Structure 1
Amino acid sequence: MKNLRITAFLFFLSLTAFAQTPQFPIVKGFGGIYEIPDATERPDGTLEYKILVDLTSPSEDNKQISRFVDNVARMMNLHGLAGVTKDRIKVKVIVHGGGIFTLLNDENYKKRFEVENPNLKVFQALEEAGAEIMVCGQSLIARNLKTADLWPGVTIAHSALTTITTYVPKGYIQLKF
C-alpha cells in the first residue's frame, strides 16, 4: 500500500512538472496559450500578418465566453508567443450570422439570455490589442437589431460579404470561425 502511495505521488509530481500556466502575450487575460518547446513550425516574427476573421458561429453556451470569440484572442496570442510583435499582426474581425449575438450590449444580451454578455470583455481586450471588430449591417437588419443594441466598440460594415471581398485582395488571409 505504501508503494502505491509513493507511486501515485511521483506520478502526480511528474504531471505538475509538465503543467504550464497559460500565457497572454498580446491579448491580455483571454485566449490563453502554451509554449510548445518541440514545435519546429512556428510563425515568422519578421513577417507582417494580415488576418480577417469571418466569425459566424453562435455561442455554444450563451452564459459562457464563446470559444469562437476567445479563439480570435488565442490566434493573436499564438503569433505573439512565437515572436510576432503587436505591430506586426493586423486583425480585423467581421461578425455576422449566428455570431452577431456575441456583440449585444449587456442590457440586450440580458433580455435575450438572462445574463450579462461574457464576450464583451474579450472584445474589449481584442480592441486594446489592436484588433478591429466589425459587424455586418445586413445581419443587423435580418435580426431586427440596431446599432444601439450592440457593444459600442464595434464598427458597422455594409456587409460581411463586401468586407471579405474588400480585405482579401488587400492581402488579408481569411479565417472562418
Structure 2
Amino acid sequence: MKKLIKLSFVASFLLMSLMAFGQTPQFPIVKGFGGIYEIPEATERPDGTLEYKILVDLTSPSEDNKQVSRFVDNIARMMNLHGLAGVTKDRLHVKVIIHGGGIFSLLNHENYQKRFEVENPNLAVFEALKEAGADIMVCGQSLIARNIKPADLWPGVRVAHSALTTITTYVPQGYILLKF
C-alpha cells in the first residue's frame, strides 16, 4: 500500500511538473516575441484593473549581434507579462528610450549588415513592440556621439533630444523607470 501511495505521489508530482514546465509560451500583447508562461501559484501579479505607465531606459548592447537582444526581447516579455495578468493593451503605456550601446539594435538592415555582417534580428521585435503600442525613441545625443544618422535607423523610431531629458520628462508624469 505504501508503495502505491508513493508511486501515486511521484506520478502526481511528474504530471504537475510537466504541466508547469511543458507550457507553450504565450504572447498576449506583443505577438511572436517575449514569450511568457502562466504561473498558477503566483500570489503576486499585476492588477488587471490598473493603468501602467512604464519608461524603459535601454542602454545595454546585445550580447550576440547575430541574435535578438535579450534586452529588446525583455521589453516584449514585460508587456506580455502584464497582458497575461489581465492588463489590457489600452491600459499599458510603454515608452522606450534607447541610448549608449543599445542604439546599435536600432540600425536598419543595411547598416546593421555593414557593422555585424547579418541583417538586424531586432527589427522584427521593434515592429511587434510598435504594433503593440510601445513608443520607441532613440537619444539624439547618442546618435551624434556614435556618428549615426536618423536615416541609418529603423524607420519606426522617434529621435529624442536626449535620453536624460526623456527620463526627466516622463518620470514626473507618473512613468516608472525600468533600466535594461
Query: Given the two structures, how large is their TM-score scaled by the length of structure 2?
Result: 0.90
Question: Is 1:115 the equivalent of 2:112?
Answer: no
5 Å matches for 1:16-95?
16-18=18-20, 19-95=22-98
- SS of the aligned residue for 1:54 comes to strand
Q: Residue type of the partner of 2:121?
A: P
5+ long unaligned stretches in structure 1: 1-9
Match of 1:136 in 2: 139
Does residue 1:102 correspond to 2:67, yes or no?
no
CA distance in 2, matches of 1:34, 1:126: 19
Give the RMSD, CA atoms, in angstroms.
Answer: 1.3
Aligned to 1:127: 130
2:168 is the alignment partner of 1:174: no
Partner Cα separation in structure 1 for residue 18 and residue 118 of structure 2: 35
Stretches of 4+ moved more than 4 A in 1? none
Alignment: residue pair count: 167
Deviations 1:67-113 (A, max 9, x none): 00000000000000000000000000000000000000000000000
Alpha-carbon distance in 2 for matches of 1:76, 1:17: 24
Report the equivalent of 2:148: 145
Aligned AA for 2:29? Answer: I
Query: TM-score, normalising length from structure 1?
Result: 0.92
Task: Please give the alpha-carbon distance, in whole angstroms, between the structure 2 residues aligned to 1:145 and 1:86.
Answer: 33
Q: Which runs of 5+ in 2 are unaligned?
A: 1-10
Distance in 2 separating the partners of 1:83 and 1:146 = 39
- Aligned-pair identity in percent equals 84
Q: 3-state SS of the aligned residue for 2:95?
A: strand
Distance in 2 between residues matched to 1:103 and 1:128, nearest whole Å: 16
Distance 1:132 1:121 in 2: 15
